[in-house]
Structure 1
Amino acid sequence: MKKFSVVIAGGGSTFTPGIVLMLLENLQRFPLRAIKFYDNDKERQETIAKACAIILKEKAPDIEFSYSTDPETVFTDVDFVMAHIRVGKYKMREKDEKIPLKHGVLGQETCGPGGIAYGMRSIGGVLEILSYMEKYSPNAWMLNYSNPAAIVAEATNRLKPNAKILNICDMPIGIETRMATIAGLKSRKEMRVRYYGLNHFGWWNRIEDLQGNDLMPKIRKHVEQHGYITELKDDHTEVSWNDTFAKAKDVYALDKDTLPNTYLKYYLFPDYVVKHSNPNHTRANEVMENREKNVFGACRAIIEKGVSSAGHLEIDEHASYIVDLATAIAFNTQERMLLIVPNNGSINNFDATAMVEIPCIVGSSGPEPLVMGEIPRFQKGLMEQQVAVEKLVVEAWIEKSYQKLWQAITLSKTVPSASVAKAILDDLIEANKDYWPKLS
């Protein structure tokens, strides 16, 4: 069986050790000859990489491991690039969240003005990695889960339409895992779903088991009472995440024919989100105080003792979706997966140029989107507004246009007026002067 060479772009991320552990768990179906890390932050990557080198030496010594900040070294002779970069790191995420809150608007990593600010930073970073791939390994595929995935997908489709990039998101996977529990199944892979929307902005309209039995009534009944809260224990069941899973009950009440993505709470109940936010201590602070501290602490302990058992690192189960995708491409498995792809008529009463999140059949030549047909007016109206925001952000980045970015923030369903949008934008420009194109 062929063995593959994989780059993890964002080698200094706290998610990288979990992805390495997940890759090691899946070597039977996705064999590896090499794992490489790439990051432009040498010091941060070094800590994660040295710990991962010890893990790999213990668990899979035959896999060649290396890390570097030099693109040619890393991107030469690779088959897949798994990208999860965060331009500006958590310090900039903190500003994305706190600046809108200062103006009474929700502060969230991928939604509203914070997501727009993050998108303006991410576009250049993802395009840069694509250009390295094209130069040094033109046949490689990028599996991109860098956020905000919707804006990144719009930008790469517009600026690199022929690039071998697949944009994915694990949030529907987390929700489907909960749905499977609600339905009494062992795994989300025992379900077949139909889902449509944009990234972090979608709805399930059919869920069946593999025998074709309708699971929607049972899941709807649970969501109507409890949202997506289950007995399931995982990394996401912190207080802020529990609230998000519970709030799905209120989002569901708007349309009881479908089941919603949890992120819709930010667009449909922004007043609730602001009311329940602490403008001085946001999700970015939670992550820096917990995940950042724990993962880097574990890595330092592993390096110091020279054994993987010296530090506790958790396997990233959500990331197994990335292996599913890589395996589908590598071995032409024709697996059915949710991906962010050009609409091109899949949703036939919606913008053909929009990047939509829908089920696709994935093989060695990439994704074949399934036809979703017509969608209801309520969802269509919300999606048209949101896709306009995403397109305006990308146009603002390309044209270095203040006007278009102001329009994008004004059009976001999370922002109450153009004057508030302008005040937020001016603060975001100041905060992002080292990262955004200079706007005029």
Structure 2
Amino acid sequence: MTHAADDRKFSVLIAGGGSTYTPGIVLTLLNGLDKFPLRKLKFYDNDGERQKKIADAARILVKERAPEIEFEATTNPAEAFTDVDFVMAQIRVGKYAMRSLDEKIPLKHGVVGQETTGPGGIAYGLRSIPGVIELVDYMEKYSPNAWMLNYSNPAAIVAEATRRLRPNSKIINICDMPIGIMDRMAQIVGLKDRNDLVFRYYGLNHFGWWTDVRDKTGKDLMPQLKKHVAKHGYLVDDDYEEGIEPSWEETFKMAADVYALDPTTLPNTYLKYYMYPTQVVKHSDPNYTRTDEVEDHRQKLVFGECARIVENGTAKDTGFKPDDHSTYIVDLCTAIAYDTKQRMLAIIPNEGAISNIDPTAMVEVPCLFGANGAERLAMGKAATYQTGMITEQNSVEKLAVDALLEHSYTKLWQAFSLCKIVPDAGIAKDILDDMIVANKDYWPELN
């Protein structure tokens, strides 16, 4: 779809330019210039050295594929945020060193160690919030009409904080996990990709369920999908993609166990951490966690490929590919820029979207995206099982944000204790005390 009558071109800033996901976003933007034309592409990161490794390769990529686009990489907020239409935020406060502790500290106490769920997710949330708020403020200062698409993790806690601290800001919190799963659903039923599916979904971020999936003709695909998921989870053809770490294979397989708990819906993969924490811990190595896997695999691949591009002076034969979340982000930008009303998921104040859940909960539901941002669609009433799960987890997220804003040890202990992943308040306290020491450079002092 081209927009012939509209000759606007857009300026995009990637905040977190040093991320290993940045090359995928750049490629998606370059592949989609017919739908979403660019005049300028900028990177911003507070780690200039890390960003430079990615930016030097991206500069070559942009020059070869679209030399008319102005490219800039900077560590200066004023330069970065001036004259932008969209900010794509993907920051990791504390980088992999802190992520490693988010995973390893809970595991030391026999509890799931994961970057967006449980104690690790809460710890990461408290580090992320000030960073994301800082980006929102830079955007509003230097480009007050811009939109921010935030997919910095843990999206649920960050979204709760932005709802409270910047309620009128043009920030949309999004996540790529359901997108990746829907691409798999499309494969299972023999369709091209997620855009061929019409779906109903509700929950919190990394914590939701599909209640209905159809094709564009209205044919119900749930029976076929359920049959597959009951047996294989979200693994497709038992053939696991090359280039992705083995822990993901386990995650997609375990969707079968999560599905068994509620065969009326299809689950988000992350629910495995809440429903089967004992099994997850049993299969975890406290000395070699997901961070180690990423550093040994994805990070080496991405930085290695960037170095190769720079050394050869060309990106013509690059192995970089657009990925799930990058295609989703560009679709969102296009929908906002051209007011297309495309139906996509976002994390948004509930306000009745799930009729029997707290109206202030930041829920993940389908929305229509246009010039005014996201317009939530009503998903009706949550079933008893989902209501219980969502209410508990949302309380955890609210308590975590309370704890940060009030510098409250008790509220954070409550958040850790209430989390379904943590077996009791004593263990919650031990983990929290270790986390306080580990996060001393990032968290406020708790009283």
Tell me the TM-score normalized by structure 2.
0.97
Distance 1:397 1:235 in 2: 40
Distance 1:352 1:16 in 2: 35
Distance 1:392 1:11 in 2: 31
Does residue 72 (structure 1) correspond to residue 78 (structure 2)? The answer is yes
Displacement after TM superposition at 1:299 (Å): 1.1
Matched position secondary structure for 1:338 = strand
Distance 2:284 2:373 in 1: 41
Does residue 63 (structure 1) correspond to residue 72 (structure 2)? The answer is no
Does residue 182 (structure 1) correspond to residue 188 (structure 2)? The answer is yes
Does residue 355 (structure 1) correspond to residue 348 (structure 2)? The answer is no
Distance 2:339 2:240 in 1: 33
Does residue 10 (structure 1) correspond to residue 24 (structure 2)? The answer is no
Map Cα deviations across residues 153-209 of structure 1 (whole Å, 9 max, x no partner): 000001000000000101001111111111121221111000000000000001111
Does residue 165 (structure 1) correspond to residue 171 (structure 2)? The answer is yes
Displacement after TM superposition at 1:315 (Å): 2.4
Displacement after TM superposition at 1:395 (Å): 0.7
Aligned AA (2:64) = E
Paired residue for 1:201, among 186, 207, 216? 207
CA contact (8 A) 2:20 2:299 kept: yes
Partner in structure 2 of residue 394 of structure 1:
401
Distance 1:387 1:340 in 2: 13
Partner in structure 2 of residue 264 of structure 1:
271
Aligned AA (2:67) = P
Distance 1:316 1:265 in 2: 23
Structure 1 residue runs without a partner (length 5+): none
CA contact (8 A) 1:97 1:108 kept: yes
Mapping for residues 126-275 of structure 1, pairs under 5 Å: 126-231=132-237, 234=241, 237-275=244-282
Aligned AA (2:189) = A
Matched position secondary structure for 2:129 = helix
Distance 2:241 2:40 in 1: 30
CA contact (8 A) 2:345 2:364 kept: yes
Partner in structure 2 of residue 125 of structure 1:
131
Moved over 3 A (4+): 232-237, 309-312
Distance 2:278 2:305 in 1: 38
Q: CA 1:382 to 1:209, structure 2 compared with 1: closer, same or farther past 3 Å?
A: same
Aligned AA (2:38) = L
Distance 1:225 1:73 in 2: 52
Displacement after TM superposition at 1:85 (Å): 0.4
Displacement after TM superposition at 1:347 (Å): 0.8
Aligned AA (1:88) = G
Paired residue for 1:425, among 432, 437, 446? 432
Displacement after TM superposition at 1:313 (Å): 2.5
Partner in structure 2 of residue 36 of structure 1:
42
Distance 2:335 2:384 in 1: 34
CA contact (8 A) 1:21 1:316 kept: no
Distance 1:317 1:386 in 2: 26
Q: CA 1:236 to 1:413, structure 2 compared with 1: closer, same or farther past 3 Å?
A: farther
Aligned AA (2:102) = D
Paired residue for 1:21, among 27, 32, 36? 27
Distance 2:416 2:395 in 1: 10
Q: CA 1:179 to 1:311, structure 2 compared with 1: closer, same or farther past 3 Å?
A: closer
Paired residue for 2:385, among 378, 383, 390? 378
Partner in structure 2 of residue 328 of structure 1:
335
Distance 1:435 1:253 in 2: 40
Q: CA 1:317 to 1:235, structure 2 compared with 1: closer, same or farther past 3 Å?
A: farther
Distance 2:36 2:111 in 1: 44
Aligned AA (2:323) = D
CA contact (8 A) 2:245 2:294 kept: no
Matched position secondary structure for 2:13 = strand
CA contact (8 A) 1:194 1:204 kept: yes
CA contact (8 A) 1:150 1:355 kept: yes
Map Cα deviations across residues 320-376 of structure 1 (whole Å, 9 max, x no partner): 000110001000000001110000011111100000000111110011101111110
CA contact (8 A) 2:176 2:324 kept: no
Partner in structure 2 of residue 287 of structure 1:
294
Partner in structure 2 of residue 307 of structure 1:
314
Q: CA 1:3 to 1:17, structure 2 compared with 1: closer, same or farther past 3 Å?
A: same
Q: CA 1:140 to 1:169, structure 2 compared with 1: closer, same or farther past 3 Å?
A: same
Partner in structure 1 of residue 283 of structure 2:
276
CA contact (8 A) 1:166 1:340 kept: yes
- The CA RMSD over aligned residues, in Å, is 1.1
Distance 2:122 2:96 in 1: 15
Structure 2 residue runs without a partner (length 5+): 1-6
CA contact (8 A) 2:149 2:329 kept: yes
CA contact (8 A) 1:22 1:317 kept: no
Partner in structure 2 of residue 96 of structure 1:
102
Map Cα deviations across residues 394-427 of structure 1 (whole Å, 9 max, x no partner): 1111111111111000010000111100100010
Distance 1:295 1:236 in 2: 11
CA contact (8 A) 1:334 1:363 kept: yes
Distance 2:317 2:381 in 1: 54
Displacement after TM superposition at 1:310 (Å): 6.8
Tell me the TM-score normalized by structure 1.
0.98
Aligned AA (2:68) = D
Matched position secondary structure for 1:273 = helix
Displacement after TM superposition at 1:316 (Å): 2.2
Matched position secondary structure for 1:36 = strand
CA contact (8 A) 1:94 1:282 kept: yes
CA contact (8 A) 2:245 2:297 kept: no
Displacement after TM superposition at 1:270 (Å): 0.2
